[in-house]
Amino acid sequence: MGRKRTKRQASKLVTPDRAARLYRLLRLLGRGPRSRDVLTQRLHLNVRGFYRDLEMLEKLGISVILGARGYSLALERSEALTLLPFPDPGLTFAEAEQLAKGRTAAHRKLKQLIGQMVK
């Protein structure tokens, strides 16, 4: 029997194109319930692709529920976005170091990652 993927493993499977589509899906769902037909049309997906994206969101810890009025997020959109991984932007180390200069949690996270890589 196959092993369940962790959130970290699942996040590595999110390509830039898929991340953009998942972001658009979260934006649509964050505005209220939507039918599958509306979502597949707006995202230019077939039904199989739609369900694969829902499965990926679930693996990332973002629950989507199906109610009488359609699909909706089980949590606030802003919270869901904190769970959606950002794809590798293809930065150079110099660019990453420049972005790591700051005082926010995101700056510290990037600085820590750089530190782990250059040990």
Q: What is the pLDDT of residues 2-51, one digit of tens each?
A: 445 566 666 667 888 999 999 999 999 999 999 999 999 999 999 999 99
62-115 per-position pLDDT tens digit: 999 999 999 999 999 999 999 998 887 888 888 889 999 999 999 999 999 888
In the prediction, which pLDDT does 90 show? 80
Read off the DSSP letter of residue 70. Answer: E
Nearest to 96 by CA among 82, 83, 109, 81: 109
Side-chain half-sphere of 104: how many Cα atoms within 13 Å? 5
pLDDT of residue 6: 64
Whether residue 60 contacts residue 9, with contact meaning beta carbons closer than 8 Å, is answered with no
How far, CA to CA in Å, does 58 sit from each of 7, 55, 64? 9, 5, 7
Q: Which two tokens stand for residue 9?
A: 């493993």
Going along the chain from its start, the domains and CATH numbers come out as 7-83 (1.10.10.10), 89-119 (no CATH)
Q: Is the pTM of this model over 0.95?
A: no
